[in-house]
């Protein structure tokens, strides 16, 4: 049986998105009875032994999977990725300092807007004019004099662009990896804070994975309300209040699943191959146009259009008739988007590419 949610439906959703079938089956069993305790995972106290084992194991598997060095802390927070737009500057942008933001799309725009409420923000690159169809090379960045951190988004879910390498930075490097977390290895020597909302590659909505260098925690502001303090969340093992216990459990199961698949390098190879099949169908035709520049095409979100919006709509309808769901592009850029996260099957990418070819020859 394929490791997907349903055999016949292919879910190309950008998020919440497809999860591995085996993870969902384990989660279903654990909802009723976690680890032979006779109590379901959602019914256990977050202070009890059963959940403590869940969160400890999730943390340990996360560290193992990500190759995360000991000088980083792993946090499971709430509020989604968007809450991090505020928490990062609240914790890390002191008065009198500047934070640099590399502006590559709608999610960095929101991050910039929130950071500006807290302190001084400098855009070291702005992709507005090119319609966010690419990310900058290091030589295009115009950093401020002494930024306390540089912020970027490594995978721009809406536009289908992906940063091939961490950008040059001074100060700490902060990354929103929401739509590609654990789709490929992460260079920890280059990053200081990495975070991701769970609902694309990691589990159900409601948990945000935050991985932060311990030295940053020591410098983080302490004059904030308790729930907003990174350093306090770390001290309390992400259990300052009741954490999203079910979400953390499922995330832990996803970490185990990726480890079983061979870890991040093998995930990366599979993702490149999967996306490659669809990009090939775009590249070989005069019918489809990709949104992203070739230099930075995402392996997670593949964005393209037919020659006109009517044909986009017709393609969507045909795809649905073939069980291919959620291929509509984000409302801000239109067109089509195929999200092919870790759990998305290679066979699904082949089926989409075949459909693209037959649709183009019937309508071209
Ligand atoms: C790259 C990126 N950052 C942030 C977000 C916002 O996530 P959330 O809804 O968890 O706040 C999204 C959601 O799609 C995203 O794709």
Digit-coded pLDDT (tens) for 130-152: 999 999 999 999 999 999 999 99
| CB of residue 78 inside a 6 A radius of ligand 1 | no
User: Pocket of ligand 1, candidates 79, 197, 199: which has the most ligand atoms within 8 Å of its Cβ, to mutate?
Assistant: 197
CATH architecture label of 262-363: Alpha-Beta Complex (3.90)
The contacts found for 117-124 with CB under 8 angstroms, 24 or more apart, are: 117/86, 117/89, 118/86, 118/89, 118/90, 118/93, 119/89, 119/93, 119/94, 119/95, 120/93, 120/96, 121/89, 122/98, 122/147, 124/100, 124/150
Average per-residue pLDDT for the chain: 96
Ligand 1 centre distance from Cα of residue 177 (Å):
9
For residue 290, give the nearest of 338, 348, 361, 341 by alpha carbon.
338
Is the model's pLDDT at 1 over the cut of 50?
no
How far apart CA 10 and CA 18 sit, in angstroms, is 9
| CB of residue 102 inside a 6 A radius of ligand 1 | no
pLDDT in tens, 276-313: 999 999 999 999 999 999 999 999 999 999 999 999 99
How far apart CA 231 and CA 239 sit, in angstroms, is 12
CA dihedral over 284, 276, 306, 160, signed as positive or negative = negative
Crossing angle between the packed helical segments 263-283 and 49-66, to the nearest 10 degrees? 60
| CB of residue 107 inside a 6 A radius of ligand 1 | yes
Ligand 1 centre distance from Cα of residue 107 (Å):
7
Q: Whose CA is nearest to atom 4 of ligand 1?
A: 81
How far apart CA 153 and CA 151 sit, in angstroms, is 7
Which of 30, 125, 192, 200 is the catalytic position? 200
Is the model's pLDDT at 347 over the cut of 50?
yes
CATH class as words, domain 23-260:
alpha beta
How do the domains of the chain map onto residue ranges?
23-260, 262-363
Average pLDDT over residues 346-355: 98
Sheet strands side by side (includes 289-290):
289-290, 301-305, 336-339
pLDDT class of 3 with cuts at 50, 70, 90: low
Ligand 1 centre distance from Cα of residue 264 (Å):
22
pLDDT class of 354 with cuts at 50, 70, 90: very high
pLDDT in tens, 224-273: 999 999 999 999 999 999 999 999 999 999 999 999 999 999 999 999 99
| CB of residue 261 inside a 6 A radius of ligand 1 | no
Which pLDDT value is given to residue 295?
A: 95
Place of tokens 């004059």: 223
Tell me, yes or no, if 176 is annotated catalytic.
yes
Tell me, yes or no, if 107 is annotated catalytic.
yes
How far apart CA 167 and CA 138 sit, in angstroms, is 6
Tell me, yes or no, if 274 is annotated catalytic.
no
């Amino acid at each position: 049986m394929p490791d997907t949610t349903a055999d016949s439906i292919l879910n190309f959703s950008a998020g919440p998105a497809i999860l591995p079938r085996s993870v969902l089956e384990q989660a279903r069993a654990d909802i009723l009875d976690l680890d032979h305790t006779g109590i379901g995972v959602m019914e256990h106290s977050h202070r009890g032994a059963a959940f403590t084992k869940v969160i400890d194991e999730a943390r340990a598997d996360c560290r193992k999977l990500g190759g995360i060095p000991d000088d980083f802390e792993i946090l499971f927070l709430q509020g989604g990725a968007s809450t991090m737009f505020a928490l990062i500057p609240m914790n890390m942008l002191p008065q009198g300092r500047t934070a640099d933001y590399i502006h590559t799309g709608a999610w960095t725009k929101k991050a910039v807007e929130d950071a500006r409420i807290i302190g001084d923000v400098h855009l070291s690159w702005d992709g507005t004019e090119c319609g966010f169809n690419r990310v900058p090379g290091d030589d295009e960045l115009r950093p401020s004099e002494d930024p306390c951190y540089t912020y970027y988004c490594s995978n721009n879910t809406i536009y289908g662009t992906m940063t091939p390498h961490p950008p040059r930075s001074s100060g700490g490097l902060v990354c929103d990896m929401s739509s590609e977390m654990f789709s490929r290895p992460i260079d920890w020597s280059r990053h200081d804070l990495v975070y991701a909302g769970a609902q694309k590659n990691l589990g159900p909505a409601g948990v945000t994975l935050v991985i932060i260098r311990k030295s940053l925690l020591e410098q983080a502001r302490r004059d904030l309300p308790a729930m907003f303090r990174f350093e306090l969340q770390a001290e309390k093992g992400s259990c300052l209040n009741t954490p999203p216990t079910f979400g953390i459990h499922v995330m832990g199961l996803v970490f185990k699943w990726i480890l079983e698949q061979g870890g991040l390098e093998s995930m990366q190879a599979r993702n490149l191959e999967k996306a490659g099949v669809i990009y090939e169908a775009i590249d070989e035709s005069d019918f489809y146009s990709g949104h992203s520049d070739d230099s930075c095409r995402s392996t997670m979100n593949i964005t393209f259009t037919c020659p006109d919006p009517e044909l986009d709509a017709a393609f969507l309808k045909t795809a649905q008739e073939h069980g291919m769901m959620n291929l509509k592009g984000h409302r801000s850029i239109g067109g089509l988007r195929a999200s092919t996260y870790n759990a998305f099957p290679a066979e699904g990418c082949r089926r989409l590419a075949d459909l693209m070819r037959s649709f183009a020859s019937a309508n071209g």
